[in-house]
Amino acid sequence: MRAFTFSGINGSFVGYNDGTELKNLTRDLFKAMPDVAISYDGRDNGDHFLSHINWTTLLSQLGIATILDGSPVLNEEADRVACVAGPEMVARQPSDPKEPVLIIAHSQGTNIATFTLRWLLNNHPDFFQNRAVRCLYFDPKVGPDHVSEVFALTGDLDVPFLFIQSEKDLRSRQGVLGTRFISQFRLGNHLFVAGLGHSEIIEWKQLDSPKRRWLTRDAYHNKYLRDVEKERMRIAKERSRPGWTTSDSLRLERYMKKYPMNTESLVPGLISFAKGSLLKRFVS
């Protein structure tokens, strides 16, 4: 198996993210798959591609970063890096045309990976001809319309996706960097992970915790969100006057923390997806 990784932006105001955390996650995943021969060295602009954007770059984009085709500044970078990543992936593709490729991406890296897939599909469709190209996306920061285009271009090709969304990312400032992907894109497999934030979602020890709480996309949308809204209304009705207080928010947060979810390590799901057969309980 050949792997490629795409890391995201720097969450601070200066510098850029060198992708160390994502590279470490990738290596930990491969250590958990000793029966699979994997080629990955994490070399920048070789089999790892990174974003040079930080929070300062995005300040002017806050009002337009949540549209269906994503943020202009993020898309400009993704389009530019794709023209580097695409040819490099072609050059590094396995000599065996049936050997699978695994793409692991986080945050803005999911945007760059998506633009790279589109570049490959338009310029080197033979890259996908006989092999599976599996895409593991953490906290996607990509316009759903771009991913829809990739889905349309792949057609019957073997290009499965697993999207993993952290709970705190949906509520933090990182949420303005792209759309609420789990709410707006219905294709592929989605997992909602409670209690984790944008950085923690790519920490192996967090994903491997036996107490990790998570939901499939269907359980998240069809039950969890509905039940949380019902609890919000119940709390509001108990008040003698209109309004919502800090105390009300804390009550709702306690309800969310105690909400029954699947509780187990996500690692079996990651391994089974990487190997090409996502375990049934993680399918959504």
Q: Tell me: pLDDT of 68 over 50.
A: no
Same domain, 239 and 200: no
pLDDT in tens, 14-27: 455 788 999 999 99
Same domain, 10 and 45: yes
The CATH number covering residue 174 comes to 3.40.50
pLDDT band at 142 (very low <50, low <70, confident <90, very high): confident
pLDDT in tens, 231-264: 999 999 887 777 888 999 999 999 999 999 999 9
Same domain, 84 and 196: yes
pTM: 0.90
DSSP code of residue 208: T
Same domain, 112 and 246: no
What is the C-alpha separation between 194 and 165, in angstroms, rounded? 9
What is the C-alpha separation between 29 and 224, in angstroms, rounded? 29
What is the C-alpha separation between 102 and 36, in angstroms, rounded? 12
